[in-house]
Structure 1
């Protein structure tokens, strides 16, 4: 496939645009009837694995996909919970409704919650027409001291 074709696929496939890769285990938290099914299916297609839910106990997840709305409770608690199965070097994609949508989460709230949960924001993206994505990682200094 040409580089141009690869780029076109990335633009068309939201999972590829967000950096999901073949073989990754993706744990999904915060699932509800408002999530974007096309994004979920695209992630499963790119990774070659079905998304696992909060009951996943087999191993660690490479990526946590956290759907979060303003009414879902405490964002810090949700982020800390998302870290429990995350592999060292893994990351969290925090998906929140876009401005003007029900459940909108102010980016300033994410900016405050992430460091409190021991995470740093690295990237923000338009995941879908209704959802924004924020990539969160454990800072390298914190990761190096783990395990």
Structure 2
């Protein structure tokens, strides 16, 4: 029953997969006209807050980073994103799907994440043109260990 309801909500709101909770502040980096509007609206609907941009001056609960091949150095962008959240908070890296303008090679994502000190989860579909990956600090899931 509830699995069916969760699956139905996931189809109508792509942000459900991100694990965003009501009241959370989500900082968005790399926004442009090509970003997945349904995902952005879904995040705002779940959190009850508008997405904040790069000018936000406090720590966010999560970061959504839209990144395209020509956006510069991915490692630098990830390191910058890490500084915007508390330890253990997710960074959601959104990249164009294979064959789309701005596509980022999977090996580049993995290398950049590792260099930045992050672990990458399996990529997942976040819309017609975008793929998402959840990136976290390696010890974020092991509370009490350093």
Scaled by the length of structure 1, the TM-score of the pair is 0.91
Q: Which residue of 2 aligns with 1:28?
A: 28
Q: Structure 2: any 5+ residue segments left out of the alignment?
A: none
Counterparts in 2 of 1:1-147, with a 5 A limit? Answer: 2-3=1-2, 4-57=4-57, 59-140=58-139, 145=146
* Structure with more of its chain in strand, by fraction: 1
Cα shift at 1:113:
0.5
Scaled by the length of structure 2, the TM-score of the pair is 0.91
Deviation readout 1:24-80 (Å, 9 max, x if unpaired): 1100000111111111111000111110000100x2111100000000000000001
Aligned residues, how many? 143
Give the Cα–Cα distance (whole angstroms) in 2 for the partners of residues 7 and 71 of structure 1.
35
Runs of 4+ in 1 over 4 A off after TM superposition: 141-145
Partner of 1:89, secondary structure, is: coil
Contact 1:94–1:135 (CA under 8 A) maintained in structure 2: yes
Q: Structure 1: any 5+ residue segments left out of the alignment?
A: none
